[in-house]
Amino acid sequence: MALADNAGCAKPSEDFPFPEIIELNVGGQVYITRHPTLVSVPGSLLWEMFTQKNVRSLARDSKGRFFVDRDGFLFRYILDYMRDQQLVLPDHFPERSRLQREAEYFMLPELVKMLAPKLSKQNSLGDDPCQSDPEELSPSADAARSLTSASAALPSAVAGGPGSTAASGTGTAGPEARRAGFITIGYRGSYTLGRDSQTDAKFRRVARIMVCGKTSLAKEVFGDTLNESRDPDRPPERYTSRYYLKFTFLEQAFDKLADAGFHMVACNSTGTCAFAHDQTDDRIWTSYTEYVFYRE
């Protein structure tokens, strides 16, 4: 937890404007580290920020912590690298390319090189234990590659020549490449209903749309709109119930599922009621609703 009002931190002096212990707010995530750690890589963005004498030029949040408007989850790996200049990532790390972008922003060229995809002698991605991009390829991309290979092997079939009968058999590669499975989306909603049931109900906006299902399917359907910060290291073939969407429109989620070939097979909802105020008969209804989608 963050130290209140920088309690326990060394007081900065006139010659050295930064304390020994520094609190950072990176995209809403709070980090506490030592000043030598932040300046351990000369020429980096953090080095430039925390070697200047004009401390007032640095942004701060409401509690006085230095604020950096970047991905708060991925900063943990940036900070780990700043400590010992080594890169250690968990297995099945799905955000390698995003971490590389963060390394570029913080001006850490050696870390950028470590995160760059390794090429084998055949100019293909090597067997890097941290590489996680291949499992995120969507079935549509797999189908496109299959069709490309088929067209290269059977040019006459693509052109409508004598081999067109054989080519028609490969046309099913697209649907077959799409994996079957379930995706469940859920949300909590509430509305206030007055004493007179004929009056208009006051609805509140959906705060968050949750996503449950296999990680690979969720990434395929929702792509960059899927927030994985609550379960970032989930392998692609494992199930999760901790993802949520970066938007709050149910119709948008339904559109994405429909475009990916899913159709709704079930839904359920539960609700509770409570009085809004002791002095009034206004009641607040709170509900949780889930929609189950399936693709054959």
Give me the residue spans of the domains in the chain: 21-115, 181-194+202-295
The DSSP 8-state label assigned to residue 6 in this structure reads G
Longest Cα–Cα distance of the chain, Å, equals 85
CATH code for residues 21-115: 3.30.710.10
> What integer is the mean pLDDT of 166-178?
46
pLDDT at 224: 87
Length of the chain counted residue by residue: 296
pLDDT classification of 130: cutoffs 50, 70, 90:
very low
> What integer is the mean pLDDT of 118-135?
47
pLDDT classification of 7: cutoffs 50, 70, 90:
very low
In whole angstroms, give the CA distance from residue 73 to residue 225. 16
In whole angstroms, give the CA distance from residue 286 to residue 294. 27
- In terms of pLDDT, which residue wins out, 234 or 118? 234
> What integer is the mean pLDDT of 190-212?
68
In whole angstroms, give the CA distance from residue 124 to residue 119. 5
Is the pLDDT reported for residue 3 higher than 50? no
pLDDT classification of 154: cutoffs 50, 70, 90:
very low
Cβ–Cβ under 8 Å, residues 200 and 223: no
Cβ–Cβ under 8 Å, residues 232 and 226: no
Write out pLDDT tens, residues 93-107. 888 999 999 999 999
pLDDT at 80: 93
79-88's contacts with Cβ under 8 Å and 24+ in sequence apart are: 79/31, 79/33, 79/37, 81/108, 81/111, 82/37, 82/38, 82/40, 82/41, 82/44, 82/46, 83/37, 83/40, 85/40, 85/41, 85/110, 87/111, 87/114, 87/115
> Residue 268 forms beta bridges with which residues?
290
Q: How far is CA 170 from CA 129, 137, 260, 296, in A?
A: 33, 20, 20, 19
pLDDT classification of 178: cutoffs 50, 70, 90:
confident
- In terms of pLDDT, which residue wins out, 5 or 279? 279
pLDDT classification of 294: cutoffs 50, 70, 90:
very high
Report the percent of the chain where pLDDT is more than 70. Answer: 66
pTM over 0.95: no
